[in-house]
Amino acid sequence: MSPVQNFEQHSRHLVEPDLPIQVRLQMVMEVRDSLEIAHTAEYLNFLKCYFRAFSAILLQITKPQFVDNPEHKLRNIVVEILNRLPHSEVLRPFVQDLLKVAMQVLTTDNEENGLICIRIIFDLLRNFRPTLENEVQPFLDFVCKIYQNFKLTVSHFFDNMAMTGEDVKPMETSLSDQGINTTTATGSQLNPSTRSFKIVTESPLVVMFLFQLYSRLVQANIPQLLPLMVAAISIPGPERVPPHLKNNFIELKGAQVKTVSFLTYLLKSYADYIRPHEESICKSIVNLLVTCSDSVSIRKELLISLKHVLGTDFRRGLFPLIDTLLEERVLVGTGRACFETLRPLAYSLLAEIVHHVRQDLSLSQKGRTIEQDILCTEFRAIMEFVKSKIEKVFCSCVVNLK
């Protein structure tokens, strides 16, 4: 595809009202393939010509799509271009408008475009933070909204679709709320950003960054956001997951674990806000250990959150749950990768919990604790043996090579 030669002429043609969608799509692909110009002295001229055109495409010429069609591809490429813009001083005059465009797409579009917009928003707030404090609250309002919708999202994916083998479709309510008609469209379905586990997964990291940057926002938003997050992590999800919903279930648990990580981040600095939810949060952490899939990354993050809780007096909420935590499959999972990777961390955490409640353990609990300790010791011995064997083989290979 040939690079764009005349920015001004090309950008004017791009927003002509009667331009066919396929031609407009082809033109934005040409711009994307010419984006290396943004790393040259022509960057300002590029922005002056194209930023207004891109804004018009996203806010006026096209509408959010919830099926994979050419109009969605057009919007997706434009959002991708905006995400790839270098965050130099040249971009600063456009930052306020770019942030507003990204927020509009995030709150109204599908999850694919929404995920890109979260990255745009995060990078803008990080790189141009002194001037954007007034633009932060709309994002926090959006985060509150997706947590308000969380229970409905879980119900949509699992209650409504558990008995069918069909792919889950976006909620009709989310489309009608936004005034978008998809009855004539064809293609695979796309979830609205307001009903997306992936969007929930990405949001806590941005909120954590914003709270670190603008401490005054904490008191204004924590009272509303915290109960919504606590309610979200307490939702168990389905007891049995049909094969066609396995990915959705993993996304659900990933979103809940990211939320737990955010809540445990708040423990030391904002303990007074967390204290009323101590028991509920501890129960949710243990329930997630019981129900989450055998994903090493998800379970490791959950164990790290458990470690943070144990470092505070909130650990008291875990004491009534010691029987559940003494089960090996709860701490480590059942997958081989989890067993090999997470067992040392899991048992060190269990030892710490037992240390705090050792005076209150029943005889049977003490027996199970000793059994787990023996298993952990045996595991470490085996790993040391394997390690020594590998080192011997390696040394012999080196000698043979010499």
The pLDDT of residue 318 is: 86
The pLDDT of residue 175 is: 44
The pLDDT of residue 293 is: 86
The pLDDT of residue 343 is: 86
Closest to 175 in 3D by CA, of 154, 191, 196 = 191
Residue 67 forms beta bridges with which residues?
Answer: 189
Using CA atoms, how far residue 234 sits from 147, 172, 291, in Å, is: 12, 25, 11
The pLDDT of residue 388 is: 59
The pLDDT of residue 339 is: 86
DSSP state letters, 62-89: S---SB-SHHHHHHHHHHHHHHTS--SG
d(C-alpha 53, C-alpha 131), whole Å: 24
Q: Which two tokens stand for residue 109?
A: 């579009």
pLDDT in tens, the chain (402 residues): 555 768 899 999 999 999 999 999 999 999 999 999 999 999 999 999 999 999 999 999 999 999 999 999 999 999 999 999 999 999 999 999 999 999 999 999 999 999 999 999 999 999 998 778 888 999 999 999 999 999 999 999 998 665 555 555 555 434 444 444 443 445 689 999 999 999 999 999 999 999 988 888 888 999 999 999 999 999 998 988 899 999 999 999 999 999 999 999 998 888 999 999 999 999 999 999 999 988 999 999 999 999 999 889 898 898 888 888 878 888 888 888 998 899 889 888 888 877 766 555 555 655 555 555 544 554 454 445 445 555 665 566 555 555
DSSP state letters, 317-361: GGGGGHHHHTSHHHHH-SSHHHHHHHHHHHHHHHHHHHHHHGGG-
Evaluate whether 277 touches 222 at the Cβ level (below 8 Å).
Answer: no
The pLDDT of residue 224 is: 94
The pLDDT of residue 391 is: 60
Q: What is the pTM (predicted TM-score) of this model?
A: 0.84
Euclidean distance between the first and the last CA atom of the chain, given in angstroms as a whole number = 54
The pLDDT of residue 183 is: 38
* Residues whose CB is less than 8 angstroms from the CB of residue 164 and which lie 6 or more positions away in sequence, other chains included: none
The pLDDT of residue 385 is: 45
